[in-house]
C-alpha cells in the first residue's frame, strides 16, 4: 500500500496556512480550498499547520514487521579497480570502526571481483574482522549488475545490520541497486555516521535543502541500514596489521551472466590535477573577475606545488572547467592548506573544503563569511596580495 494525502473539503476554511507551510510547493488554494499536487512528499508539514482545522489527512505506507534482531554486524563495500583498493575504502573502514566501538559487533568487508585475494589480505591489514570474498573470473571490474547480484546475495545470507559504501561513481551506482533489491533505504553522501545509544539505530547525517540544513536520517523498519560516504569526509583507518581477521570464501554464491561484453576500457585522458588528492590547493572565485586572471593563481599554485580549485561562480562563468569546482555540487577536498582567493564562503562552497587542515582566505570584504572558517585571513585586493606572496616565495 502506498501513502496518500487528502483534504477534507468540509473542514477546509481556505486560510492558506498549509500553502505557506509546504516546503515543496505542493499545496495551492483553488476556490478557497486547499488542493495538493504531485510534488507532495508526504512530509506532514501541512498536517501540522492545519492542526486547528484538521482538514488534511495523511495515510502512511504500512510496513511489514521485519525481524530486525536477525541482523548483526557492520559490513563495508570494498570497492577496487585494476587490482587496487579504492582510496575511499580505508575511510569507510574508519567510519565502520567507530560504529563497531559503539555497537560492539564485528566489522566485515564485502569483496567481489576477479583475482581479489591480495586485496582481501590488504583489507585484513586495516583491522577488519572478516572479509566475505567472492572471487571469480566472471566478475569484471565494470560489471555492476553482476556485482550487485553477488553483493545482494552475500548480504541476504550474512545479514549485517549496517552496510556502507563510498560515494564514488561506482558506489553511487551499485549501492542504490543493492538497496532496491534488498528493499531497504539508502542515505547518500553522508558526512556523519553515529549510533543512537538508546535505539542502536544508525544516525545518517547529510546536507539537505541546498546545504542549508543538516538532516539526520534513520532507517527504522528495514535492514541493512545503508549509507554512502563521500571521499575525504571520514578519517581513514590506519593499517595496523591483521588482528586475527579471516577471509570467508563465499564461493557458493552464484555469479550471473552479464547481459553484455566489455570489449575495451579507455581511460579518460586529462591533464587537470586531481584536486581531491591534492595536499595544497589555491582556489579562485568570482573575485578573480576574468578567466585570464586565473594565470595569477596558477603561478602561485606552481610555486607551492598546489592544485587549482574554484568556486561554482567561477565555473558557471566559464572561467575554469567543472573538474576544478569545490563544494556541495563539486568535489570535497581535504588538503593541508587551502588558499581561497576572492571567494565569499557560501555554505555550499564550505561544504567541500571546510575540513582542510589550514584555510587561508584573501578577500577585500572583511565581512565575507569565508573569514569565519579561515585560520588566517588577509583583507585586501587579491591582485595586490597574491603577487606579493609569489614575490616573497621566490625570494
Ligand atoms: C544547490 C546549490 C549548490 C551549490 N554548489 C556549489 C558548489 O559546489 N561550490 C560552490 O563554490 N558554490 C556552490 N553553490 C553556489 C554558492 O551558493 C555561491 O553562489 C558561490 O559559492 C559563490 O561563489 P564566489 O564566492 O566565488 O562568489 P561571490 O559570492 O560573488 O564572492 C566573490 C567574493 O570575492 C570577493 N572579491 C571581489 N573582488 C576581490 C578582489 N579584487 N580581491 C579579493 N576579493 C575580492 C568579494 O568580496 C566576494 O566575497 C551552490 C549553490 C546552490 C544553490
Ligand atoms: S491550513 Fe487547513 S484549513 Fe487552512 S487552507 Fe490548508 S487545509 Fe484548509
Ligand atoms: S505533506 Fe508535505 S509536501 Fe505534501 S502537501 Fe503537505 S507540506 Fe506539502
pLDDT digits (tens, 9 = 90+) for 254-285: 999 887 888 887 775 555 557 888 999 999 99
Tell me, what's the pLDDT at 2? 66
Q: Which residue, by CA, sits nearest to atom 31 of ligand 1?
A: 344
Does any ligand 1 atom lie closer than 6 A to the CB of residue 210?
Answer: yes
| CA 104 to the chain's CA centroid | 25
Does any ligand 1 atom lie closer than 6 A to the CB of residue 168?
Answer: no
Ligand 1 centroid to 230 CA: how many Å? 22
- Per-residue pLDDT, averaged over 118-122, amounts to 97
Residue 3 in this model has a pLDDT that exceeds 90: no
Among 311, 347, 374, which is best to mutate for testing ligand 1, by the most ligand atoms less than 8 A from CB? 311
**b/e burial code for range 3-21 (CB count within 10 A of at least 16 → b):** eebebeeeebeebebbbeb
- Per-residue pLDDT, averaged over 349-377, amounts to 94
List all residues 6 or more positions away from 292 whose beta carbon is below 8 Å from its beta carbon. none
Q: H or E stretch including 100?
A: helix 89-103
Q: Which residue, by CA, sits nearest to atom 22 of ligand 1?
A: 313
pLDDT tens column, 204-261: 998 877 666 789 999 998 999 999 998 888 889 999 988 899 999 999 999 998 878 8
At which residue does the C-alpha cell 569483496 appear?
111
Q: What's the number of CA atoms in the CB half-sphere (13 Å) around residue 75? A: 26
Alpha-carbon gap, residue 352 to 285, rounded angstroms: 14
Write down all domains in the chain, each with its CATH number in brackets: 4-59 (3.30.70.20), 68-249 (3.40.50.620), 280-394 (3.40.50.1220)
Is residue 323 exposed (0-12), middle (13-18) or buried (19+ Cβ within 10 Å)?
A: middle
Tell me, what's the pLDDT at 57? 95
Confidence of residue 369 (pLDDT cuts 50, 70, 90): very high
Tell me, what's the pLDDT at 144? 84
Q: Residue 239's CB: how many other CB atoms inside 10 A? A: 12
Confidence of residue 62 (pLDDT cuts 50, 70, 90): low
Confidence of residue 329 (pLDDT cuts 50, 70, 90): confident
Confidence of residue 127 (pLDDT cuts 50, 70, 90): very high
Alpha-carbon gap, residue 83 to 119, rounded angstroms: 7
pLDDT tens column, 341-353: 999 999 999 988 9
Q: What's the number of CA atoms in the CB half-sphere (13 Å) around residue 210? A: 3
- Per-residue pLDDT, averaged over 39-46, amounts to 90
Instruction: Point out the ligand 1 atom lying closest to the alpha carbon of residue 210.
Output: 1
Does any ligand 3 atom lie closer than 6 A to the CB of residue 25?
Answer: no
Does any ligand 2 atom lie closer than 6 A to the CB of residue 373?
Answer: no
Confidence of residue 334 (pLDDT cuts 50, 70, 90): confident
Between 169-182 and 144-158, two packed helices, what is the crossing angle to 10 degrees? Answer: 50
| CA 139 to the chain's CA centroid | 26
Alpha-carbon gap, residue 52 to 331, rounded angstroms: 46
Q: H or E stretch including 17?
A: helix 17-21
Q: Residue 177's CB: how many other CB atoms inside 10 A? A: 17
Pick from 71-80, 92-101, 326-335, 370-379: least confident: 326-335
Confidence of residue 115 (pLDDT cuts 50, 70, 90): very high
Ligand 2 centroid to 62 CA: how many Å? 26
Does any ligand 3 atom lie closer than 6 A to the CB of residue 34?
Answer: no
List all residues 6 or more positions away from 42 whose beta carbon is below 8 Å from its beta carbon. 3, 5, 58, 60
Answer whether 343's CB lies under 8 Å from 352's CB: no
Tell me, what's the pLDDT at 296? 96
Confidence of residue 61 (pLDDT cuts 50, 70, 90): low
pLDDT tens column, 286-321: 999 999 999 999 999 999 999 999 999 999 999 999
Ligand 2 centroid to 43 CA: how many Å? 16
The residue among 350, 351, 314, 332 whose CA lies nearest residue 278 is 332
Cite the DSSP H helix spans in 183-310: 294-304
Does any ligand 2 atom lie closer than 6 A to the CB of residue 36?
Answer: no
Asked, as a colleague might, if the bond just before 224 is cis with ω within 30 of 0, I would say yes
Q: What's the number of CA atoms in the CB half-sphere (13 Å) around residue 155? A: 28
Tell me, what's the pLDDT at 58? 93
Q: Which residue, by CA, sits nearest to atom 6 of ligand 2?
A: 18
Cell of 257: 551472466
Q: Which residue, by CA, sits nearest to atom 2 of ligand 2?
A: 50
pLDDT > 90: what percent of the chain?
A: 74
Q: H or E stretch including 249?
A: strand 246-249
Instruction: Point out the ligand 3 atom lying closest to the alpha carbon of residue 21.
Output: 7
Residue 169 in this model has a pLDDT that exceeds 90: no
Residue 142 in this model has a pLDDT that exceeds 80: no
Amino acid at each position: 500500500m502506498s501513502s496518500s494525502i487528502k483534504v477534507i473539503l468540509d473542514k477546509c476554511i481556505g486560510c492558506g496556512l498549509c500553502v505557506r507551510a509546504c516546503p515543496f510547493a505542493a499545496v495551492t488554494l483553488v476556490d478557497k480550498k486547499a488542493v495538493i499536487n504531485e510534488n507532495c512528499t508526504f512530509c506532514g508539514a501541512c498536517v501540522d499547520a492545519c492542526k486547528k482545522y484538521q482538514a488534511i489527512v495523511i495515510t502512511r505506507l504500512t510496513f511489514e514487521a521485519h525481524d530486525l534482531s536477525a541482523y548483526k554486524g557492520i559490513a563495508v563495500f570494498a570497492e577496487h579497480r585494476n587490482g587496487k583498493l579504492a582510496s575511499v575504502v580505508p575511510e569507510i573502514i574508519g567510519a565502520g570502526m567507530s560504529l563497531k566501538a559503539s555497537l560492539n559487533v564485528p566489522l566485515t568487508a564485502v569483496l567481489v571481483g576477479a583475482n581479489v585475494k591480495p586485496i582481501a589480505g590488504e583489507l585484513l591489514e586495516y583491522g577488519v574482522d572478516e572479509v566475505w570474498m567472492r572471487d571469480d573470473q566472471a566478475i569484471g571490474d565494470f560489471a555492476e549488475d553482476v556485482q550487485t547480484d553477488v553483493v545482494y546475495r552475500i548480504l541476504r545470507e550474512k545479514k549485517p545490520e549496517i552496510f556502507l559504501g563510498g560515494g564514488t561513481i561506482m558506489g553511487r551506482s551499485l549501492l542504490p541497486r543493492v538497496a532496491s533489491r534488498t528493499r531497504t533505504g539508502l542515505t547518500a553522501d553522508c558526512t556523519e555516521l553515529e549510533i543512537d545509544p538508546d535505539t542502536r539505530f544508525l544516525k545518517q547525517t547529510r546536507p539537505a535543502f541546498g546545504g542549508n540544513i543538516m538532516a539526520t536520517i534513520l532507517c527504522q523498519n528495514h535492514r541493512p541500514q545503508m549509507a554512502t560516504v563521500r571521499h575525504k569526509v571520514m578519517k581513514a583507518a590506519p593499517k595496523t596489521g591483521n588482528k586475527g581477521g579471516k577471509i570467508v570464501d563465499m564461493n557458493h554464491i552464484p555469479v550471473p551472466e552479464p547481459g553484455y561484453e566489455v570489449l575495451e576500457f579507455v581511460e579518460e585522458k586529462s591533464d587537470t590535477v586531481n584536486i581531491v588528492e591534492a595536499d595544497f590547493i589555491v582556489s579562485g572565485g568570482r573575485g578573480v573577475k576574468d578567466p585570464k586572471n586565473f594565470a595569477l593563481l596558477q603561478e602561485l599554485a606552481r610555486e607551492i606545488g598546489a592544485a587549482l580549485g574554484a568556486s561554482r561562480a567561477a565555473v558557471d562563468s566559464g572561467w575554469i572547467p567543472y573538474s576544478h569546482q569545490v563544494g556541495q555540487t563539486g568535489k570535497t577536498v581535504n588538503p593541508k592548506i587551502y588558499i581561497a582567493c576572492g571567494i565569499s564562503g557560501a555554505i555550499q562552497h564550505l561544504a567541500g573544503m571546510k575540513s582542510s587542515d589550514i584555510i587561508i582566505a584573501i578577500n577585500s570584504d572583511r565581512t565575507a563569511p569565508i573569514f569565519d572558517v579561515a585560520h588566517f585571513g588577509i583583507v585586501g585586493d587579491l591582485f595586490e596580495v597574491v603577487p606579493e606572496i609569489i614575490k616573497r616565495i621566490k625570494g
